[in-house]
């Protein structure tokens, strides 16, 4: 298949999605990478959701059910990628969770802190650690991590924002150390997006009707509307393509101007 990712082997971790009316970031990234010619390994703790993603992909798409919290998850992913795709050119770490018990330190529970840091940050380190040797073997590779504007903006979700700030540092340290090995590493920082994780998730957590939440979030964005998962996926596609071959260590906001407003 021809396309901007023709011949590339991509692993998308967090390739399923939360239930809802719109497309999630992981599903959109997988769909668009597939349309652009990449062969895919779709990883998610919810195998059924990853299989739904595979069903809308245009080409080769394998599914691995794995939870990044498991100690051997990174190794299992690298092994499956070697066996099914013959290597890894692109790793997308899209997994990210919030928790209703996240908040300022007087409200934040130990369990919420451990869960969020474990999934969003430790899981990423584990996947990077296991996949990097496979990329180094071919002398080239790319990691894209889906971070969040919460990494650089004031947030009441302490654990979530700390996990994403940590992820950004992991990305930049990896970029620096892997540059000589031909491996690039970048992060995307989505702002206010219209995805199931954000809309259906928050509407439930905060007890706000869906339409009111959408209007509130749209008003907060300088461009006057939220982004979609396709906006995140297009940024990932650019970073994954050869057009971005000299770009590494970048934290790219995809946010309709929200980060400029914060600054």
Q: Which residues are catalytic?
A: 160
Applying the rule CB under 6 A, the residues between 38 and 57 that interact with ligand NAD are: 44-46, 49
Q: Nearer to ligand NAD by C-beta: 1 or 117?
A: 117
Q: Do residues 102 and 157 lie in contact, with contact meaning Cβ atoms separated by under 8 Å?
A: yes
Closest CB to ligand NAD among 159 and 198? 198
Stretch that binds ligand NAD, among 4-12, 17-25, 176-184, 245-253 (CB under 6 A): 17-25
Determine the residue with CB nearest ligand NAD.
96
Least spacing, CB of residue 26 vs ligand NAD, in Å: 4
- Site for ligand NAD, residues 84 to 143, rule: CB under 6 A: 94-97, 119, 123
Q: Which is nearer to ligand NAD, 96 or 141 (CB)?
A: 96
Return phi, psi of residue 109, to 5°. Answer: -90, 155
Q: Does 69 participate in binding ligand NAD (rule CB under 6 A)?
A: yes
Residue nearer to ligand NAD on the CB measure, 135 or 150: 150
Binding piece for ligand NAD, criterion CB under 6 A, among 16-24, 31-39, 136-144, 171-179: 16-24
- Of 17 and 36, the one with the shorter C-beta distance to ligand NAD is 17
Please count the CA atoms within 13 angstroms of the CA of 235 that sit on its side-chain side: 24
Contact 256, 189 (CB under 8 A): no
* Residues 136-155 contacting ligand NAD, CB under 6 A: 146, 148
Please give the radius of gyration of the chain, using alpha carbons only, rounded to the nearest integer.
17
Those residues whose C-beta lies under 8 Å from the C-beta of residue 260, and which sit 6 or more positions away, are: 222
Given candidates 37, 196, 253, 256, which one binds ligand NAD under the rule CB under 6 A? 196
Alpha carbons 94 and 166: distance in angstroms, whole number? 15
Beta bridge partners of 40: 10, 61
Q: 123 in the Ramachandran plot: left (φ > 0), alpha (ψ -120 to 50) or beta?
A: alpha
How far apart are the C-alpha atoms of 91 and 4, rounded to whole Å?
16
* 30 belongs to the binding site for ligand NAD (CB under 6 A): no
Contacts of 168 (CB under 8 A, 6+ apart): 147, 151, 152, 187, 189, 251
Q: Which stretch binds ligand NAD (CB under 6 A): 130-138, 174-182, 187-195, 233-241?
A: 187-195
Give the span between the Cα atoms of 217 and 54, in whole angstroms: 31
In angstroms, the CA 189 to CA 152 distance is 9
Determine if 26 is a binding residue for ligand NAD (CB under 6 A): yes
Residues of this chain that interact with ligand NAD (CB under 6 A) are: 14, 16-18, 24-26, 44-46, 49, 67-69, 94-97, 119, 123, 146, 148, 190, 193, 195-198, 229
């Amino acid at each position: 298949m021809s396309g901007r990712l023709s011949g590339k082997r991509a692993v998308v971790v967090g390739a399923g999605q939360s239930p809802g009316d719109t497309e999630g970031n992981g599903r959109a990234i997988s769909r668009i990478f597939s349309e652009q010619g990449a062969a895919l390994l779709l990883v998610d703790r919810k195998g059924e959701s990853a299989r739904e993603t595979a069903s809308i992909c245009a080409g080769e798409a394998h599914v691995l059910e794995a939870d990044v919290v498991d100690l051997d998850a990174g190794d299992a992913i690298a092994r499956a990628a070697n066996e099914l795709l013959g290597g890894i050119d692109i790793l997308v770490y899209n997994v990210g969770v919030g928790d209703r018990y996240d908040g300022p330190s007087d409200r934040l529970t130990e369990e919420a802190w451990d869960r969020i840091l474990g999934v969003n940050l430790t899981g990423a380190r584990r996947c990077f650690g296991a996949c990097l040797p496979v990329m180094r073997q071919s002398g080239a590779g790319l990691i894209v991590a889906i971070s969040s504007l919460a990494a650089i903006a004031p947030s009441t979700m302490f654990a979530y924002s700390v996990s994403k700030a940590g992820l950004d540092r992991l990305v930049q340290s990896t970029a620096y150390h892997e540059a000589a090995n031909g491996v690039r590493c970048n992060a995307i920082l989505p702002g206010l997006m219209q995805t199931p994780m954000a809309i259906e998730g928050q509407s439930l957590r905060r007890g706000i009707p869906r339409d009111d939440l959408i209007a509130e979030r749209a008003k907060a964005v300088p461009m006057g509307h939220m982004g979609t998962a396709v906006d995140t996926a297009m940024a990932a596609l650019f970073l994954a393509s050869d057009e971005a071959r000299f770009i590494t260590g970048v934290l790219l906001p995809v946010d309709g101007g929200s980060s400029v407003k914060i600054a």
